[in-house]
């Protein structure tokens, strides 16, 4: 119950924050304020944006954009690793949180078997991507990219923009750390060497690591993928 409510609220709050910041970033600088007028404009903007997803054409454009982004940032065969990561993680997130929120028993049966298989593919793809992309998000590389940043991540509370590479690095490393905690907790729960309290610990570690990875994913989509 606590995990379900907490995870739902954190996901909603983060998405509201990201979308509101993106809405403000499209306004003239002198109008980027937290006030009732901008909240009304944000609600109308969100309604129009959500309605656009009722059309299949919108989903096709999003898919084409994601494929093109993957080919641009992951050249050659590594693009397929990125697509494998996206597909496996999409199933992992959807199946995990849908069962956590709406099924008291939790994940079981055939969806659980698919969850484990998708987790194996996710771990392999994540390891390969870490091997090729980790150097991009090292502190010195991030500082170098931030010095060249002109249009950053807008913070409405402070009324200023922060270099986007810093948020990209945070999203990347949190996602990687949470991903390997997910894999470790799954493996630990399968081994016969741990007692019942340890199994409960692995269960909760898996859940909260999943939440951290989802939050990092939404941040990464905003600061890395969407222009």
In a domain, 98, yes or no: yes
**Token duo for residue 150:** 């002109």
Domain count, the chain: 1
Distance CA 21, CA 31 (A): 13
What pLDDT is stored for residue 45 in this prediction?
83
In terms of C-beta density within 10 A (0-12 exposed, 13-18 middle, 19 or more buried), how is residue 222 classed? Answer: buried
In a domain, 75, yes or no: yes
In a domain, 55, yes or no: no
- Tell me the pTM: 0.89
What pLDDT is stored for residue 178 in this prediction?
96
In a domain, 13, yes or no: no
Q: Assess contact for 209 and 181: CB atoms under 8 A.
A: yes
Contacts of 156 (CB under 8 A, 6+ apart): 20, 21, 24, 32, 33, 34
Q: Assess contact for 214 and 11: CB atoms under 8 A.
A: yes
Q: Assess contact for 115 and 88: CB atoms under 8 A.
A: no
CATH number at residue 104: 1.20.950.20
Residue span of the structural domain in which 177 resides: 61-225
In a domain, 195, yes or no: yes
Kindly list the averaged pLDDT for each block of 10 residues, start to end, along the chain of length 227: 89 89 76 79 83 80 90 92 95 92 85 92 95 90 78 66 84 95 90 85 93 95 85
In a domain, 6, yes or no: no
What pLDDT is stored for residue 95 in this prediction?
93
What pLDDT is stored for residue 78 in this prediction?
93
**Token duo for residue 88:** 């496996």
In a domain, 22, yes or no: no
Distance CA 77, CA 148 (A): 29
What pLDDT is stored for residue 157 in this prediction?
63
In a domain, 78, yes or no: yes
Residue 127: phi and psi, rounded to 5, are -65, -45
């Amino acid at each position: 119950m606590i995990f379900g409510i907490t995870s739902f609220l954190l996901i909603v709050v983060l998405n509201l924050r990201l979308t509101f910041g993106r809405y403000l970033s499209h306004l003239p600088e002198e109008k980027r304020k937290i006030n009732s007028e901008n909240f009304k404009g944000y609600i109308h903007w969100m309604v129009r944006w959500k309605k656009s997803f009722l059309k299949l054409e919108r989903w096709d454009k999003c898919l084409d954009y994601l494929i093109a982004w993957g080919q641009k940032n992951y050249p050659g065969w590594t693009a397929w690793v990125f697509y494998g990561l996206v597909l496996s993680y999409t199933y992992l997130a959807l199946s995990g949180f849908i069962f956590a929120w709406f099924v008291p028993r939790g994940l079981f049966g055939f969806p659980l078997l698919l969850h484990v298989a998708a987790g194996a593919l996710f771990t392999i793809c994540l390891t390969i991507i870490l091997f090729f992309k980790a150097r991009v998000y090292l502190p010195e590389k991030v500082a170098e990219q931030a010095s060249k940043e002109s249009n950053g991540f807008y913070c409405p509370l402070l009324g200023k923009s922060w270099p986007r590479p810093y948020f990209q690095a945070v999203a990347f490393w949190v996602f990687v750390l949470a991903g390997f905690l997910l894999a470790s907790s799954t493996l630990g729960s399968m081994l016969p060497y741990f007692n019942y309290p340890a199994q409960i610990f692995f269960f909760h570690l898996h859940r909260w690591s999943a939440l951290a990875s989802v939050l990092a994913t939404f941040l990464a989509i905003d600061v890395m993928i969407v222009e």
